[in-house]
Structure 1
Amino acid sequence: MVVTINYLRNFDAFAKPLKDFRIKTMSGAMVSIISSFIIGILFTSEFISFMRTQNKQEIIVDINRGEKMSIYLDITINFIPCAFLRLDTMDTTGAQQLNVMHEVYKTSVSISGNPLSNSVRHTVNDDSALTTTRDPNYCGSCYGADSPTRKCCNTCEEVQMAYHEMQWVFGNASEFEQCRNENWDGMKRNIGNEGCRIHGSLTVNRVGGGFHIAPGHSYTENHAHVHSIRSLGHVQFNVSHSITELRFGDAYPGQINSLDGTKMTVDKPSQMFNYYLKLVPTMYTSVSNNESTLITNQYSATWHSRGSPLSGDGQGLPGVFFNYEIAPLLVKITEERKSFVHFLTNTCAIIGGVFTVASLLDAFIYQSSCVLRNRHHKN
């Protein structure tokens, strides 16, 4: 038994010198302290890296079709009152999107952005932008512009639309009872002195399309969306605006939306501002949230502006227009975390590597000091 133990001792790779033969030096102490400090820093860095998640990305063909998509927006038009602004959605053919679910609100703001009133829910793709509280049996006159499909004109805008359908000139708003009741002329005087914040969400069909925020009123003609500003006369509109938030789908950690925080100041009046967005469907899988999967969209954006008939240098419509296309590819982003074995391996490599380099450095310093000491004694 004793022979066996003595034989096994020959395989000891960590031979221990006698304590009496150990030499401790100041340089060795300094190297040891510095090495321990470096190990502590590297270990902390490795532990933080182990606790963090990393994103793995891959691109595949998008086979999801026929689904819905949510649009979240928070946009302020600085110099046009809410009473004159409409939010409409269209598909790629120019027709209004049907079955659009929405939760969109308008808030009157000063030109500096401070709220002037409480938020009011806005109806998307509705032909009546302005409503008033009146007798439900009330039937206002259309002043000769009534038709088989329009027997009553209960608001000033409905009178304007009836005149537009008859291709008549609307004229002075104060001549119509509905416009006087709504103080239409007074509201027009607020143009340029009051703004509107439009915020909320839309749920639309997951196809290419667009939406716009523009003054005037809209209607459907031959199954196409038509937007008209004839009823507003020759009023000039400043479409300077700011985009606090615009995203297509729920947000995931680290997502960057190109237009968030955008502020556009337009020098010329009644400009048409167009944004062209390229949406990239994105699937985000989170390991920190029970491996939940989120379907959303990233996007890139370009924009330009042009004149309108009101500005005398173009054929556009004053307002802010967003047109988007959906790419046929899907980006899969998966959260990944380093395994504990990987963390343990790196920790051992850090400790072993630092101590190995430290021992070589200590040996070099010790041998150099011995050589210098011997030369000094010889001299």
Structure 2
Amino acid sequence: MRKTVFLLGLVFSTLSVMSQNSEISSVIKRVKEKYVPDSRVEIWDIVATQREDTVILKGETTNRDAYDELIVQAGSLYGQLKDSIRLLPASELGDATWGVIYNSVGTLRAQPRYGSELVSQGLLGMPVRILEKRDGWRRIQTPDQYIGWINGSVKVMTKPELEEYLQKPKVIITAFSSQSVSKPKHDAFPVSDLVAGNMLTIKGTQGKFYQVEYPDGREGYVRKSDALETGKWLKGVELTGESIVNTAYRLTGIPYLWGGTSPKGMDCSGFTKTVYFMHGIILARDASQQVHSGKLIDDQGDFSGALPGDLLFFGTKANDGKSKERVIHVGIYIGHNRFIHASDYIHIGSLDPDDPLYDEFNANRYLRTKRIIGEVGTPGIERIFDNEFYKQ
């Protein structure tokens, strides 16, 4: 009899623990869905375990509001609660939670190892937020809010140091491929390669060269024909369909690179992002994020209202509630039912079956057309120096 009572008690105790674990797991999931729906731009890696009468919350997050709500809800469910959640940026970083990319292109990976997936890139002069450090790797967030791991390439700074750096006059590289050299001579040895969108501090001018300084202290000279002072560049930028298309044409032939956002190699959304960046605009990183920006022009395959510079999105349509829509590709409309996009390499395709450039594959997975021009300042479309990372 005693044995039976003991076993029943054990069963009910186990069921109670299982019920509580399920309940706290549901709370964690609900809080994530509310505050951190996109794990590419926020971190929410929280789990709950139970030790006797104590529930232990472990993991890390970048979202303070989500953390606060979780603690309140968990505390109402359990009398004994142990909080082992790390809020990022990590406290062990101290005040050094900012930095600037100092290589022409810095590579971000999904995990802190070289064999991990390449997810994005940062350009020289780009301010980044540092979230944590693991061995030689740093987890950073770029101005488009994208998060990834990088090894090297970042000059670490405090916020006051970054503010001081950002106030210095800069040049932006406008040539898609260039280099800085050790002396103001065309045949001088290089300091580094440079790509479009790189920004360096101006120290002076000598003849046909800007004298520049890198975020990590290196100095060099850049041909004036390959760069512009950022103020003059912004004043001269024409955010028009014609200008967007002309910039896109200049990237023709660059190979496709998953995770690439520079002229060294681009994926589809890295291409659209780069074209707009060279017009002073920051777009979201991925096609599935960019699709939520701008003004809807078409979702029926009618391109009569489309204009050059619009973004075309492709993927899989939702299937009567059985499957969600998946946006997996993006290109730039250039007119006459044609678009330019990164697929194998950057090239032109057509949505017209009678066109010799007809792209049947993408025509069959077309989803919608969105307009970026005229929508600056709306969600996901931001001027560079209005971005919180750049203006501090």
Place the TM-score, normalised by the shorter chain, in its bin. Answer: under 0.3
Q: RCO higher in 1 or 2 (8 Å CA, sep ≥ 6)?
A: 1
With normalisation by structure 1, the TM-score equals 0.25
